[in-house]
Each structure stands twice: as structure tokens, then as C-alpha cells.
Amino acid sequence: MVFLIGPPDAEECLKSLEKEKERLEKEYEELQKKYEKGQISKEEYEKRKHEIEREFVEVMDRIVQYKAFSSGF
């Protein structure tokens, strides 16, 4: 029987990724508020929104990978 073990710092990395996820969620909320108040243009809003979404997907993908490795699939 083979057990897959994640990196020794997997738990620490997972916590860091969770914090990054929360930061991106807050940044997205702030971006929406700025757009609703007319503080930024639609182009700027759409550009930054797309960037945040890409970062978010990347972070979520890494979170899933770390959870899969730490559970041994």
C-alpha cells in the first residue's frame, strides 16, 4: 500500500492560500463598491475584475491540490 504525503509545509501553505483567497474576496468587494460609486471607469473595473478572478481561480486550484495531497486522495 502506498500513501502519498504532501510537502512538509503543506498545512502552512494551505493557511497562506486561504488568507490569499480572503484577500482577493475583499479586494473584489472593494472594487465593486468603487465602481458602484463611480470612482472607477467600467474599463478599469472590468480589467481589474478579470485579474482578480484569474488570481482567485489559481488560488482555489492550489487549495484543492493541497487538500487532495494532504488527504492522500
CA 33 to CA 37: how far, in whole Å? Answer: 6
The larger pLDDT score, comparing residue 67 to residue 59, is at 59
For residue 67, what pLDDT is reported? Answer: 84
Residue with cell 472594487: 31
Report DSSP letters for 51-67, one per residue: HHHHHHHHHHHHHHHHH
CA distance 9 to 11: 6
Q: What is the pLDDT of residue 73?
A: 53
* Domain limits, the chain: 22-71
Residue 43 CB neighbours (<10 A):
8
pTM given for the model: 0.80
pLDDT in tens, 55-64: 999 999 999 9
What is the tens place of the pLDDT at every residue in 8-39?
677 888 999 999 999 999 999 999 999 999 99
Q: Name residues whose C-beta falls within 8 Å of residue 7's C-beta, 6 or more positions apart in sequence.
A: 13, 69
